[in-house]
Chain A
């Protein structure tokens, strides 16, 4: 909006254009940015001559920090105070976005480079039973994650979906308002508190110190239910009322209207929401560490004995390093890479479902 400068009017016409007069030319910010980074590189180049290693990150940071005051200064000289402020804020806002990208990029690169060291067949086909030092794998943790998350999904999806149906189709008055409020608040329960709850629940009924896969699943469902409710509720509200009314007009009972009309219309959105909810809880560490514990062996039984999961595997491999420590760290990073790949795959599936199975409203 502020950069309406057309290059042809700015360069070719010899007469000064009143629209672009007193403005920095369009490429000026880029030139200033390049110059700022060059200065940063020069500073660190001098340091590099003094014997230090050349620091690319430092050069870019110094360049970016130099750019912000210099674009303000140039704009102040040419365009005046108001536009200088505008340029300054543009630089700051863009800087904030770039700043947020740094951890994401750094994290991706780190996890991939460190994780690939042990991302091999043995990692996916062995447990940690009787393994000290090198070798071993995370099969027990992968199986545990799948079982616990699956059980959590089996508990959460019916409750979450029916609650959202209640809120959208039936809920009126104080109960509905109370549930909406509590679901919102439940979204913010710290994951470790959910783990403590599941632990307390099972230790009261089954004796203290009970740690089983199903306790972990209960903890995860406390975290998962509100996410499912929120997303499905939003999707159900998107279903046009005309569809419901058309069904009622044909004499269809309310429950059949919901099952045959409302749910099929919104199923793509609901699937997306559920997939994202699974992606959210599959990476939870703290509740599983407390409620499900960890073990080095395979355990296929949710109801008996401790069960490892991928996030807890990452944590225990890091926290209880043996000899040599590199073997443990490599396993931790490989498990982290596996975990991130699973989460990303779930996110991707969710987006694809939303994209390809969304109902066509003919808008």
Chain B
């Protein structure tokens, strides 16, 4: 289409209007993202210099307030990823290389159904089903493995700890990570796989030597995209986690750090005055962090051009 021709094509008004509106729509994307950044920055500038006297939710200054939240956000997302990465690679391998061919697409669809469940429903489920179900396990861990720093007590009576929030987050990021891993695994050159099998490799050896090296960048970008999702997930964490704002690595106690997103959702409806600006400023920090994480993931994906990415 882009071949240069000597003859200039006739310009019709319809063409101009149409291409003009297409360019306009495209630029709207740039405008929207710029507007998101600008409005958040404008609203949060006052908060950066606020003290406990200006805004009632600040202990001393803004950074002392946002620090524990950043820690909680990163810690919860890390826990989620530690659980989600091996499981999602396993599911992707199961669908791409182990399940019967005819079942594979149905199984993929079933995993995608998890992505369709709204996060507020995950929150309800986390409180109503998951937390009571894992609480006995937590007591057991504290009683028997309490010497291990992460498991030290006293155990939370409700089960609504950072680990439960991490489990819910892991379930929520599983579908997107599985979808990307699955797509890369399916793109492994069949000749490589057949060559490995022909040399007498078992199925696992074939996967280890042909599929996993080929899919490494896909696995990495899936993990980073999952990290972006886990960092920004709001309602499930806000509902499941019973947060106290402390900075602690302990997984099973009732003293848990909150996350930025959950803290905004919980505090925003009742916020007034400068508190609103403080909360928007924490949102700006979340925006910058997730923007960087996602840009990094896309950069990894774009280094491998043949893999188009499973949004």
Binding site for B on A (CB under 8 A): 1-2, 82-83, 85-86, 88-90, 92-97, 99-101, 103-104, 106-107, 110-111, 114, 158-163, 165-167, 169-172, 175-176, 178-179, 181-194, 196-197, 199-201, 203-204, 208-209, 222, 225-227, 229-231, 234, 241, 244, 253-256, 258-259, 279-280, 282-286, 289-290, 293-294, 311, 314-315, 318-319, 332-333, 336, 339-340, 343-344, 347, 351
Contact = CB atoms under 8 A, between A and B. Distances in A.
B261 A200 contact: no
A187 B94 contact: no
B26 to A, nearest CB: 4
Interface stretch (B60-68, B146-154, B232-240): B232-240
Given A190-B287, A191-B234, A196 B264 contact: yes
Contacts of A158: 25
A94 B202 CA distance: 17
30 contacts: A1-B203, A82-B202, A94-B98, A95-B90, A101-B110, A110-B129, A158-B25, A163-B26, A166-B23, A166-B26, A175-B23, A179-B30, A189-B232, A189-B287, A191-B232, A192-B283, A193-B287, A196-B40, A196-B283, A197-B40, A204-B42, A222-B32, A227-B311, A231-B311, A283-B120, A286-B234, A314-B121, A318-B127, A332-B124, A336-B124
B48 interface: no
Given A255-B18, A347-B116, A184 B309 contact: yes
A166 B114 contact: no
Interface size class of B (residues with CB under 8 A): 35 or more
Contact of B24 (A162, A181, A209, A259): A162
B197 A97 contact: no
Which A-B residue pairs are the 6 nearest by beta carbons?
A190-B232, A96-B90, A283-B118, A162-B25, A255-B18, A188-B294
B39 A110 contact: no
A197 B113 contact: no
B91 A185 contact: no
Contact of B235 (A188, A225, A315): A315
B256 interface: no
Contacts of A197: 35-36, 39-40
B15 interface: yes
A104 B113 contact: yes
A196 B297 CA distance: 24
Nearest to A283: B118
B58 interface: no
Interface string B23-65: 1111111101101100110110000000000000000000000
Contact of B111 (A85, A100, A181, A285): A100
A201 to B, nearest CB: 5
A283 B119 contact: yes
B209 interface: no
Interface stretch (B157-165, B223-231, B246-254): B223-231
B122 interface: yes
Contacts of B17: 255
Nearest to A255: B18
B187 interface: no
Contacts of B2: 172
Contact of A253 (B12, B21, B98, B207): B12
Given A92-B90, A100-B114, A293-B269, A192 B232 contact: yes
Contacts of A201: 35, 39
A159 B91 contact: no
Contact of B22 (A169, A187, A256, A318): A169
B1 A340 contact: no
B36 A189 contact: yes
A54 B90 CA distance: 31
B19 interface: yes
Interface in B85-134: 86-91, 93-95, 98-99, 107, 109-111, 113-114, 116-125, 127-130
A311 B236 CA distance: 12
Contacts of B264: 192, 196, 286, 290
B76 interface: no
A283 B118 CA distance: 5
Interface in B277-296: 279-280, 283, 286-287, 290-291, 293-295
B174 interface: yes
B118 A339 contact: yes
Nearest to B21: A162
Contacts of A96: 86-91, 94
A336 B265 contact: no
Given A200-B280, A285-B119, 8 more contacts: A90-B203, A165-B25, A185-B33, A188-B229, A225-B32, A231-B311, A286-B119, A289-B265
A185 B298 contact: yes
Contacts of A333: 124
Most chain B Cβ neighbours within 10 Å, of A189, A193, A311 = A193
Most chain B Cβ neighbours within 10 Å, of A169, A170, A175, A286 = A286
Contact of B87 (A99, A165, A286): A99
Contacts of B30: 178-179, 182
B225 A190 contact: no
A86 B24 contact: no
Contacts of A193: 36, 40, 232, 283, 286-287, 290
A163 B124 contact: no
Most chain A Cβ neighbours within 10 Å, of B42, B114, B283 = B283
Contact of A86 (B29, B43, B202, B269): B202
A192 B91 contact: no
Given A193-B40, A200-B43, A290 B268 contact: yes
Contacts of A285: 118-120, 234-235, 265
B276 interface: yes
B13 to A, nearest CB: 10
Nearest to B291: A185
Given A101-B110, A182-B29, A343 B117 contact: yes
Contacts of B91: 93, 96-97, 100
Given A163-B29, A179-B30, A255-B19, A347 B113 contact: yes
Contacts of B129: 106-107, 110
